[in-house]
Amino acid sequence: MATEALDKIVAGTLPGLELVEPTPATGADRQRVAIKPGPSLATLRAKYLGYAADSGKVSSATSQGTVEVRQARSRTSGPNGPTRTLIFSEKGLIGSQG
């Protein structure tokens, strides 16, 4: 989603907050090694429980559409104030934490 659309959603639903621009990771925050996915949940079930899940009943998180996670801060807290995590989808704001 475009930043302007997200700003409009935040202004309408949480008027005291503003989105914080993400900063690029540097130094120790940078990912050092490529992440390799582990075994699937069906493989782990078969290994530890003795049965595998029915693949027809498992839904993928990607089937829910695009989800974007952004940080927001109170307009009055200043640049070093606490932030909240906001979760957006095509439908708008779907969750927050903090």
Q: pLDDT tens, 3-29?
A: 888 889 888 988 899 998 877 767 776
Mean pLDDT computed over every residue of the chain: 80
Q: Which of 11-20, 50-59, 63-72 has the highest mean pLDDT?
A: 11-20
pLDDT tier at 84 (50, 70, 90 boundaries)?
Answer: very high
Q: What is the pTM of this model?
A: 0.58
d(C-alpha 90, C-alpha 3), whole Å: 13
DSSP-derived secondary structure letter, 91: T
